Amino acid sequence: MFGRRITLFKLLGFAVRIDISWVIIAILITWSLAIGLFPQHYKDLPKATYWWMGVAGALGLFVSIIFHELCHSLVARRYGIPMKGITLFIFGGVAEMDEEPPSAKTEFIMAIAGPISSILLGAVFYGILILGKESGWPNPVNGVIAYLAVINGILAGFNLVPAFPLDGGRMLRSALWGWKGNLRWVTRIASKIGSGFGMVLVFLGILNVLRGNFIGGIWWFMIGMFLQNAARVSYQQVLTRQAFEGEKVRRFMEPNPVTVSPSISIKELVEGFLYRYHFKMFPVVENGRLLGCISIQQVKGIPRQEWNQHTVGEFVQQCSSENTVDSETDALKALSIMSRTRNSRLMVVEGDRLVGIVSLKDMLTLLSLKMDLEGYEE
């Protein structure tokens, strides 16, 4: 779901990040407010005023989404669910969970916390708006506050739509979960509803474009495409968690991995290992002891004409929690490390000894086989 992310700050113990897509959307929101919405409702103001109103409105929306997702995260923490943090991305944000809620009741409470928080925040902004009007605050200030009151109401209403993975879709899933008791089945149903809702938005977007409302149509189209993808990815995540639940890394690891000596040259590494085995990372072992690893990223930083002048030992990346696990590590934790670090291979160690390599490719292959043999429906 996410691309490149930037950590902004920590709030109540949660890391707040933005996906690079949010920067683009923030610019588009500012532009839409400064060029369209505010000039339409507040006539004859200087252009500079419209632009600062647009910036203030976009920042207010930013804070509103963080508040919405923070409430999800606080409820999750209250029920003991590990949270990675909050990430703002295209069209909204998400409170990132390491695992699914333990029960239908927990999911319902977590899901409804978001819309309630947006309704309350919208009410607060509406109260400030009334105070501002009675106190004679400038129209531009009141205009931004009015926008934030309305947009929080819209945020709550949109999230209450029963289309997974929106909050309303999660509430629907929790109700079905409580009824059927089968998380995989209810997630598949909720995801299909979410995907269907996304298709409706795509159709409305195309219709709006054909009717001449280009900007509005593009927004509907993009939101619809995003929801379709998010519904599919969310269902796949549930399948992955259930397929690997209780599995240990030892089941997936290659017990006799290809290793390299620290004494060979970078040229020998490239020609004898990288080009031969096509792995992007190799463990570095000397006299049976694991020294670390070397990856293609490190080799790329060495000028080609110097490959003969340097040895692997000069560029060994030390063992750490970013590139190693032990054989008893939960498979889902290994996947989480791969996702966070973008390492497709992890070294499996016992003390200072290498006992195997676990690769994303092997884990996904087994996942595919389990889904075929055990009747997982996509």
List, for residues 262-276, the tens digit of each pLDDT value: 999 999 999 999 999
Mean pLDDT of the chain: 84
User: pLDDT, tens digit, for every residue of 99-110?
Assistant: 677 788 888 998
Q: Could you give the maximum distance between any two Cα atoms of the chain, in Å?
A: 80
Least confident of 9-18, 287-296, 340-349: 9-18
Task: Indicate the domain borders of the chain.
Answer: 5-160, 184-245, 249-373
The pLDDT assigned to 377 comes to: 54
The pLDDT assigned to 1 comes to: 44
Mean pLDDT value of segment 130-143: 91
- 237's CB contacts (< 8 A; 6+ apart) are none
The pLDDT assigned to 264 comes to: 92
d(Cα 51, Cα 32) in Å, to the nearest integer? 10
The pLDDT assigned to 94 comes to: 65
Question: Using H for helix, E for strand and C for coil, what is the string for 171-230?
Answer: HHHHHHHHHHCCHHHHHHHHHHHHHHHHHHHHHHHHHHHHCCCHHHHHHHHHHHHHHHHH
> Of the ranges 184-188, 277-281, 371-375, which is most confident?
277-281
Q: Backbone dihedral region of 342: left (phi > 0), alpha (psi from -120 to 50 degrees) or beta?
A: left
Provide the residue type at 83 as one letter: M
- Percent of the chain whose predicted confidence (pLDDT) is above 90: 25
> How far from each other are the two terminal CA atoms of the chain, in whole angstroms?
18
Q: Which CATH superfamily is 249-373 part of?
A: CBS-domain (3.10.580.10)
The pLDDT assigned to 131 comes to: 94
Mean pLDDT value of segment 91-96: 62
Asked whether the predicted pLDDT for residue 225 surpasses 90, the reply is: no
Of 271, 197, 270, the residue nearest 229 (C-alpha):
197
- Percent of the chain whose predicted confidence (pLDDT) is above 70: 92
User: pLDDT, tens digit, for every residue of 38-73?
Assistant: 998 888 889 999 999 999 999 998 889 888 888 888
d(Cα 164, Cα 300) in Å, to the nearest integer? 42
Asked whether the predicted pLDDT for residue 375 surpasses 60, the reply is: no
